[in-house]
Structure 1
Amino acid sequence: MRRTIAPLARKLGTRMSARRRRATRGHIDVRRTLRASMSTGGVPMRPAYVARQHGRPDLVVLADLSSSVAGFSRFTILLMQALAGQFRRIRVFGFVNIADELTDTIVGAAPGADLTAAFGDLSRMTRWHRNSDYGAALRDVVDRYADAVGHRTTLLILGDARTNGTDPAYDALRSLVERARHVVWLNPEPARTWGTGDSVAHRYAEIVDMHECRTVAQLRRFVDRTMPV
């Protein structure tokens, strides 16, 4: 897995940096452009821009680590770890039906460290069962980790949005959307299955920007073109 992530992260990191430079360039500064043109006979050879002061965003990852989507979530978290330099700060939360912060274990780990135990220990992410409960996890983040999401935060949610018939807590998701700068959801299930069975993906997709992400190619395209920088 890490052999795939390392070259992918290097390539995507370069592209994200280029996107950030373009995004922060801003509009043309007429005065500076005209002043610079004095040295070229009044012909503006290169426009000067007013820089936008955005800075790097904070990234918060909220990942379903139940067995049905654990592989996808682990791969994506490791990619975000490899791209840590693109963000001001990263915090990682895993859940099955309770949210648990994994930041120190994952983000603070040395490159190449074995994180199997961190991903596999579900004891602090479950109550009395091991079925996903998205509503409970979302409320947990709102109630216990309110400081994690703010106006500089890109919140990245990973999971299939299958609630096992539990309350989906749309209000909690809306609360996070109101707090964050961006909220994006990556769903490893085909878009055609959203809303089938116990899936409420189609309803969550009305609240947040949800993307089908089933392959490395789809994940690469998302980070390269869509992920907020």
Structure 2
Amino acid sequence: MDECRGAAPALAPAPETRCRRPHALDVALEKRQVERAYDFYAPVYDFVFDWIFAPGRSAAIAELRVEPTDSVLEIGIGTGLNLPLYPEGVRLTGIDLSEEMLDKAIERVLELGMPNVTLKVMDATSMDFADNEFDKAVATYTISAVPDPIAVLREMRRVVKPGGALVVLNHFRSERRLAGRFEDLVAPVCTRLGWKSNLAMAPLLSRVGLVAEEVRKVNMFNGWRLLRCVNRK
């Protein structure tokens, strides 16, 4: 399956400098794989992943700079680990492809008493929302876990108002040659586990017409990047 990859080394052919859309059949098959993977992870996801990724989550929600009147969309809300990080009274809509993960998120919404939160099972590559419906959108650890990240980012742009913030927190292919080659090597295994290890940032943003106005490295070993983009339509 074609994937987004980073800059090619000096002696390598050019394809890695481009970011191509995956074939429709590949997307359908990978979507099933992702659903199965995250349904499997649901019971243990919080225990295994929360402490590792918590610093990045906090930074991402803070980067949204939520105002009291904002309507916010969270892509891939999962078990709702980000919910306690939002300001009180936030108008939040969260979507996820995994019903098992959303069941956990519903429990968390009830525990936290967040009446303004709406949760929906939805495919982020084709959202059931109107154009310009939200003020801001965020995706934490999601873009490399979807079969078609280009489609997801385009949908985020579509449903967010002009001038609204798009915040993305994700692991991207390393710009260091050896690390990037290793991420390419393990990509098939990682895809089976539910995420892409070698998704390249620059060509992905270029394909969807986004510019990262702020980029910073977060989490353990600075292995993840937090991007803040303004939706300029």
TM-score range, shorter chain: 0.3 to 0.5
TM-score (norm 2): 0.40
The structure with more strand, counted as a fraction of residues: 2
Higher relative contact order (CA 8 A, sep 6+): 2
So what's the TM-score if we normalise by structure 1? Answer: 0.41
